[in-house]
Homo-oligomer: A and B are copies of this chain.
Amino acid sequence: MVSAWLMKARLPLLLLILEVLFIVLFAVTADYEDSARPPLPARRHGGNQSEAMGGGHAQPEGHGAGAAGPGPIATYYPMFQDVHVMIFIGFGFLMTFLRRYGFSSVGINMLLAAVAIQWAMLVSGYIHGHGGKVHIGVTNMLTADFAAAAVLITFGALLGKTSPLQLVVVCFLEIILFSVNEWIGLSLLEVVDVGGSMFVHAFGAYFGLAVSRMLYRKDVEEATKEGSVYHSDLFSMIGTIFLWLFWPSFNSALAVEDAQHRAVINTYLALAACCVVTFAVSALTDPNCKFDMVHVQNATLAGGVAVGTSADMMIGLHGALLIGSVAGALSVLGFKYITPFLASRLKIHDTCGVNNLHGMPAILAAIAGCIASVLADEDNYGYTLYRQFPARSPANETSPEFLHISQHMEISAGKGRTASEQASFQIAALAVTLIIAISGGAVVGLIVRFIPMDQPRGEALFEDSRHWHVPD
């Protein structure tokens, strides 16, 4: 009896264990960042506090955070909230298109994201940290939402074919691999990816597709509930449009000054062009030239992914429009031809078509970023070249070149990379991302397949009532 109940109660018990773990880890290993703490008079510093505090408290007493310039809330909070809406409303409702899986789509989306943001703050802090406590503030909240996005993209590949228990386990493990991969890309390879197209979208999509391959069962192809109804498609459009609207915030939240403004403009234009081309190609690939709602729900967003790596670069207005246009076409063609191929030939079932919305457009993003990196020089970036690509700063802080640049722009010693070296590293980061995502996803997929975790079959596929009290 008890063991039967324990089997059923594995998910809620796991959730409670996770939350206790998070509370302990936040208590022991994390603290507010400086600007979220009162400025304490020096004489009152306790010994064990100073570790987490850093130099910020040497500043004059009585001046709160942000006495000089706008504080982090004024700087980051509006765009953070846009991204937050994308994660919980955007992804959540985008997936409600299934006729009998809306509760899970929006509900489990919320649960996974709530687990992911807490866990990602900690893991990312450990990996990027310097031994002291993890400092928590609005910028962690923002990057935690990025990590959650990767998990939710993976969710999109697995939607309707996995139990919530499987998904929570996938989420927990994916966040670790996500953070490792991102750290390799940003800290070891020193590449740039302002909108996270490689580290979020490519990673989340191919990780999810690898898990999906491992979980493959024939009955998924025969499931009868994998379809939409009229109103479920409208609910889905709520998600689509909020994602579409706030994508410029996603791609620019962590950029600065002119690069931030440029990231907003480029993303906005890429999305507008992508929307137009999506409608065009959707009709052209249909014998009666009718639009397909699946394309509108998804492919219109591919431009935001595809411009993500190069959004803050000098790609030109036409460059942004071109990237968005190609992404829209590629994504529709993916839904039309590649998704069926993956399912029938490679046994990779992709419920939401994340390969089309996130995967292939992210590869396009990496290529565009590589090309834009090759073309970057002081002629078009001025000294901001070294802010945009820190690895291109001279390696030697005493070299005349370094000293010349640092008269105009605050820089640290870099790697002295040339444009084509930087471009090579950009592509290397994509390769590393694909390797970690696919191999990691495969291992995680095997884990959640062969440790029994209640994977749904037959009538339980794409069906809420297995895990929810459903009215009617």
Report A's interface with B, CB cutoff 8 A: 8-9, 11-13, 15-16, 18-19, 22-24, 26-27, 30-33, 35-41, 44, 46, 61-62, 64-66, 70-75, 77-79, 81-82, 84-85, 88-89, 92-93, 96, 99, 102-103, 106-107, 110-111, 114-115, 117-118, 136-138, 141, 227-231, 233-235, 237-238, 241-242, 244-246, 249, 252, 256-262, 264-265, 268-269, 271-273, 275-277, 279-284, 286, 288-293, 296, 300, 314, 316-318, 321-322, 325, 378-385, 407-409, 467-472
Contacts and interface: CB of A to CB of B under 8 A. Distances in A.
A343 B427 CA distance: 61
B261 A73 contact: yes
B281 A12 contact: yes
Given A26-B317, A296-B110, A379-B44, A102 B257 contact: no
Contacts of A385: 38
Contact of A277 (B15, B27, B245, B471): B15
A245 B468 CA distance: 23
A373 to B, nearest CB: 15
A81 B84 contact: no
13 contacts: A35-B261, A38-B385, A41-B408, A44-B378, A61-B408, A70-B70, A84-B245, A88-B241, A103-B291, A110-B244, A110-B296, A118-B272, A141-B268
Contacts of A37: 258, 262, 314
Given A382-B40, A471-B227, A23 B62 contact: no
A468 B38 CA distance: 53
B279 A81 contact: no
A41 B245 contact: no
A65 B257 contact: yes
A71 B261 contact: yes
Contacts of A106: 234, 237, 241
Nearest to A466: B290
Nearest to A103: B293
Nearest to A5: B289
Contacts of A380: 38, 40
B265 A32 contact: yes
A65 B258 contact: yes
A472 B99 CA distance: 10
Nearest to A237: B106
B264 A16 contact: no
B317 A31 contact: yes
B138 A264 contact: yes
A325 B19 contact: yes
A408 to B, nearest CB: 4
B321 A275 contact: no
Of A114, A138, A269, the most chain B CB neighbours within 10 A belong to A114
A296 B15 CA distance: 15
A66 B36 contact: no
Nearest to A9: B289
A272 B279 CA distance: 38
Given A62-B383, A93-B238, A107-B237, 16 more contacts: A12-B280, A12-B282, A19-B273, A22-B321, A26-B321, A30-B317, A31-B317, A38-B380, A39-B382, A44-B378, A85-B242, A106-B237, A107-B293, A136-B317, A138-B261, A230-B472
